[in-house]
Amino acid sequence: DAVESTPAIVIGSGYGGAVAALRLGEAGIRTLVLEMGRLWNTTGPDGKVFCSTAAPDHRSMWFRTRTEAPLATFLWLDVVNKDISPYPGVLDRVHYDHMSVYVGRGVGGGSLVNGGMAVTPLQSYFAEQFPTVDTAEMYRTYFPRARSMLGVNTVDPAWFESTEWYRFTRISRKHASNAGLKTTFVPNVYDFGYMEREAAGSATKSALAGEVIYGNNHGKRSLDQTYLASALGTGNVTIHTLERVRSISRAADGTYVLAVDRLDDTGAVVETKEYGCTYLFLGGGSVGTTELLVRARESGTLPALDAGVGTGWGTNGNVMLGRANHLWDTVGANQATMPVMGIDDWANTANPVFAEIAPLPTGLEHWVSLYLAITKNPERASFSYDSATGAVKLGWSAAQSAVSVGMAKKLFDRINRANTTIYRYDLFGSGNKVFADDFTYHPLGGCVLGKATDDYGRVKGYSRLYVTDGSLVPGSIGVNPFVTITALAERTMARVLVEDTAP
């Protein structure tokens, strides 16, 4: 078959892919974005684009017969997950031996399913993680650019203090403060003006209707409304959906050749295509991009890739847990799904933790305080290739997760002691599991900046091949990662468009 040729191809339409697509399009370079998920713009039989969290249907998860929600049980009961029919749904859970990774699937990647928390890391920790990057320039130019493009805003503190929808957060703040811990507001890309109208009854509820991990029908400024809309607006960018890149190789003239499977709604491969390009940008996310490059090196299609490809992966120290409150400390039946506050104990060098105060919107009072702890876990893992099956495996171990748990436990033991409270044992399966340490929302690394690539994301061993996504971040960034991923991608594109694409 003839190879369809384009000057530039971007794999994936999450943060890294969306930034690359926009900046290429603005520079007048014709660009094709290949996204394995679907475009989320058509309504189902219920008149909505995304299904609800309480009654998930086929739209919820990526080719599953049953949902796999992070919080699996309530009062040890299997009441959360539901049987569904296979479909290219919006949330995927990628399983490795001792760790599974939640990712978004669709035009917009993780922005479709995430909690919208838009946090700029502590400058000193960014400098520690990226010693070769000009930190001052990042905080002067690329972080502000990313925040403004993403539409970051903050909750009105007065409204926060008075609304029933954030009572759960205020209770957790009180308990942290009783333990002598400090809390901080966390910005978000959810439109808080819209949320206030939801609360007032003048706008259709989304964050106030439990919507988040299977998509928000309103209010959230996901990438399809920001970077990707602008990219399409340049007239130079095209997005192909339900097209999954299977392999990357290089033609004799130095251009790249991609083998791509086009999927239908049942997951069947209905066509295999070949695309060619001069410039190739990888934005498939930490596990998507790393798997593609590890396979390319080990199967010999890109043999000169650096040994650093497939290393330096971490979970951003993620651990989820719940505490049981006293009967008088009600958290409220009404809870907004967008977190707005974190317990900030990162400066505690003996045990650095940043813990997001997370909602548990069941519509009933349940006295649970839920948290997503980001711990400074120094453990890293590598990916390996199984030549017999073609599968890429992740070498993360249960012992490496135990390091995150130990750190989260130290902080929350302290909070429980100060408030004479205990943990909840009923939320993460039948085994009385307190700490959910077998999944992450924040996969980071695999093609670390300055290791697998040069200091700007140019992949070592090849020219005109770039990584722009979360695989550049060395396993930990101390806060929720998408602002960092976006800002680094902006920095890469600014450099590459000046230095690499001049005629």
Residues that bind ligand FAD (CB under 6 A): 11-17, 34-37, 102-105, 109-110, 113-117, 213, 244-245, 283-286, 288, 292, 441-442, 469-470, 480-482, 485
Of 30, 492, 26, which Cα lies nearest the Cα of 277?
30
As a whole number of angstroms, the distance between CA 183 and CA 344 comes to 5
Phi, psi of 81 (to 5 degrees): -80, 150
| Secondary structure (DSSP) of 216-239 | -SSSB--TTTTHHHHHHHTSSEEE
What is the closest distance, in whole angstroms, from the C-beta atom of residue 484 to ligand FAD in the complex?
Answer: 8
What is the closest distance, in whole angstroms, from the C-beta atom of residue 103 to ligand FAD in the complex?
Answer: 5
3-state secondary structure (DSSP) of residue 254: coil
DSSP state of 157: H
* The one catalytic residue among 291, 298, 442, 490: 442
Of 111, 100, 94, which Cα lies nearest the Cα of 50?
111
As a whole number of angstroms, the distance between CA 263 and CA 86 comes to 13
**Which C-beta is closer to ligand FAD: that of 401 or that of 480?**
480
How far is C-alpha 64 from the geometric centre of its chain's CA atoms? 20
Per the annotation, the verdict on 218 as an active-site residue is: no
What is the closest distance, in whole angstroms, from the C-beta atom of residue 453 to ligand FAD in the complex?
Answer: 14
As a whole number of angstroms, the distance between CA 170 and CA 96 comes to 37
**Which C-beta is closer to ligand FAD: that of 40 or that of 160?**
40
What is the closest distance, in whole angstroms, from the C-beta atom of residue 416 to ligand FAD in the complex?
Answer: 25
**Which C-beta is closer to ligand FAD: that of 217 or that of 286?**
286
Dihedral angle at the C-alpha atoms of 395, 399, 404, 410, nearest 10 degrees? Answer: 180
As a whole number of angstroms, the distance between CA 206 and CA 52 comes to 9
**Which C-beta is closer to ligand FAD: that of 188 or that of 421?**
188
Terminus-to-terminus CA distance in the chain, angstroms?
Answer: 30
**Which C-beta is closer to ligand FAD: that of 108 or that of 421?**
108
Identify whether the C-beta of residue 464 lies closer than 8 Å to the C-beta of residue 279: yes
As a whole number of angstroms, the distance between CA 236 and CA 28 comes to 6
What is the closest distance, in whole angstroms, from the C-beta atom of residue 440 to ligand FAD in the complex?
Answer: 9
As a whole number of angstroms, the distance between CA 24 and CA 3 comes to 21
* The one catalytic residue among 356, 366, 379, 490: 356
Residue ranges of E strands in 90-215: 91-95, 100-104, 183-185
**Which C-beta is closer to ligand FAD: that of 260 or that of 405?**
260
Cβ-proximal residues to 350 (8 Å cutoff; 6+ apart), any chain: none
What is the closest distance, in whole angstroms, from the C-beta atom of residue 111 to ligand FAD in the complex?
Answer: 6
Of 218, 167, 169, 210, which Cα lies nearest the Cα of 192?
218
Identify whether the C-beta of residue 435 lies closer than 8 Å to the C-beta of residue 372: no
What is the closest distance, in whole angstroms, from the C-beta atom of residue 414 to ligand FAD in the complex?
Answer: 25
**Which C-beta is closer to ligand FAD: that of 374 or that of 407?**
374
**Which C-beta is closer to ligand FAD: that of 17 or that of 361?**
17
Per the annotation, the verdict on 298 as an active-site residue is: no
What is the closest distance, in whole angstroms, from the C-beta atom of residue 79 to ligand FAD in the complex?
Answer: 20
Could you give the angle at which helices 15-26 and 482-499 cross, rounded to 10 degrees? 30
Identify whether the C-beta of residue 116 lies closer than 8 Å to the C-beta of residue 220: yes
**Active-site amino acid positions:** 356, 442
